[in-house]
């Protein structure tokens, strides 16, 4: 499909501004001390922006490492020629150890079985594999309990000669809304780091801050941060503006009017009885349905720089009422689902209001048949 996308112009597309990605990195890096390393999180197909093209840009822009969750993402990056460290941010199964070692991935460890298998595979390949120890400070998802960490590290050092403990980290549960709990998590992690330092077992890298931590808790930057949705410039908290000035979205999501119909009063528009015309109406059929990631419940679209209501949905198209649009809408005119047109704008945050969805979730719903157009500003 990728080769076809390069040959054939589609009626719907996702435009991705790599110049803005560079600016976002520069602004976020300005919040950090010079010694803090920048891990760019590209899990979930780079939050829907396209795994390999975004990762190549991030490597070019000087990011220290990339974070993924699925091993298939990590392998795809290595096969695309990515050389910088790639960290698994979730546990791998022991059966995946050979692939992880072959691709020289940085492994998250929170259990001995995986550690032993990775070490075994690394020894067989004559490699030393970097690992980061995950600590559970209250999220209760992955990680070792703090009082078990020292014993775990000693065990790895004693029994796994082909593993190098490069880092230790934790993850915050609710940094934007629960300062008291986050402060407790930071205190638990700091106490652990102090104890490990005293015992001579503190790993070189420590990290805790993802987006909320980066913006709100500079004391939790340590010497590495993990930058996810912030990197892509999206306001991810409904109704709140928390991103630094100049950190902006990379994407615009655009389609085209592919048919205009005149509908009489009382006639249905699209499948079922969801919308019956209450007046004589002009209805634009626009390429892009839930087969592209335009979920049912999307409220508005921009045509001729004006917001118009979407009245029905299908897998391959949506229908919008353009009766009140000023100007002569014609077939193949551009229609913007997310982005600017004229003086109007629809953000991903706004689009999600009617979808019972979050920005990072909705971005990842864009399907592979929507071509991604990467560009730098002139």
Structure pTM?
A: 0.93
Least trusted range by pLDDT, from 75-84, 164-173, 341-350: 341-350
From 148, 240, 271, 299, the catalytic residue:
271
Taking the domains of the chain in order of start, what are their residue ranges? 31-232, 251-375
3-state helix, strand, coil in the chain (%, to 5): 35, 25, 40
- The pLDDT value given to residue 5: 44
Print burial letters for 329-362: b (CB count within 10 Å at least 16), e (below 16): beeebebbbbbebeeeebebbbbbeebebbbbbb
Beta strands at 334-341 and 251-263: parallel, antiparallel or unpaired = antiparallel
Is 43 catalytic? The answer is: yes
User: Of 251, 222, 210, whose CA–CA distance to 336 is shortest?
Assistant: 251
Q: What is the mean pLDDT of residues 172-185?
A: 96
Q: What top-level class would CATH report for the domain 31-232?
A: alpha beta
- Per the residue annotation, which of 37, 43, 134, 372 is the catalytic one? 43
Q: Beta strand 251-263 with 13-17: parallel, antiparallel or unpaired? A: antiparallel
Backbone angles phi, psi at 302, to 5 degrees: -100, 125
pLDDT in tens, 162-172: 999 999 999 99
In CATH terms, is domain 251-375 a member of 2.40.37.10?
A: yes
Span 85-109, pLDDT tens digits: 999 999 999 999 999 999 999 999 9
Cβ atoms of residues 196 and 170 within 8 Å: no
Cα atoms in the 13 Å half-sphere on the side-chain side of 323: 14
């Amino acid at each position: 499909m990728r080769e076809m996308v390069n040959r054939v112009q589609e009626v719907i597309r996702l435009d991705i501004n790599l110049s803005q990605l560079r600016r976002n990195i520069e602004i976020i890096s300005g919040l950090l001390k010079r010694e803090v390393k920048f891990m760019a999180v590209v899990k979930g197909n780079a939050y829907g922006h396209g795994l390999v093209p975004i990762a190549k840009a991030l490597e070019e822009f000087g990011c220290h490492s990339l974070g993924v969750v699925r091993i298939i993402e990590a392998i795809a990056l290595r096969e695309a020629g990515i050389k910088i460290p790639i960290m698994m941010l979730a546990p791998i199964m022991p059966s995946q150890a050979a692939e992880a070692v072959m691709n020289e991935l940085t492994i998250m460890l929170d259990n001995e079985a995986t550690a032993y298998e990775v070490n075994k595979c690394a020894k067989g390949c004559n490699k030393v594999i970097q690992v980061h120890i995950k600590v559970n400070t209250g999220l209760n998802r992955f990680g070792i309990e703090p009082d078990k960490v020292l014993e775990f590290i000693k065990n790895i050092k004693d029994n796994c000669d082909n593993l190098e403990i490069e880092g230790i980290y934790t993850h915050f549960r609710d940094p934007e809304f629960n300062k008291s709990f986050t402060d407790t998590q930071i205190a638990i992690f700091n106490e652990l780091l102090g104890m490990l330092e005293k015992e001579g077992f503190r790993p070189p890298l420590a990290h805790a801050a993802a987006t909320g931590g980066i913006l709100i808790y500079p004391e939790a930057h340590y010497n590495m941060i993990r930058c996810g949705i912030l990197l892509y410039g999206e306001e991810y908290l409904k109704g709140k503006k928390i991103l630094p000035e100049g950190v902006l979205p990379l994407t615009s999501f655009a389609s085209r009017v592919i048919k205009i119909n005149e509908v009489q009063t009382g006639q249905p528009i699209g499948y079922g009885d969801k919308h019956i015309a209450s007046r004589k109406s002009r209805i634009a059929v626009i390429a892009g349905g839930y087969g592209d990631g335009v979920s049912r419940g999307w409220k508005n679209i921009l045509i001729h720089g004006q917001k118009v209501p979407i009245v029905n949905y299908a897998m391959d198209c949506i229908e919008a009422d353009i009766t009140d649009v000023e100007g002569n809408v014609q077939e193949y005119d551009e229609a913007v689902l997310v982005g600017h047109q004229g003086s109007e704008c629809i953000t991903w945050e706004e689009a999600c209001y009617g979808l019972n969805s979050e920005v990072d979730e909705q971005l990842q719903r864009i399907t592979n048949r929507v071509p991604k157009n990467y560009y730098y500003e002139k």
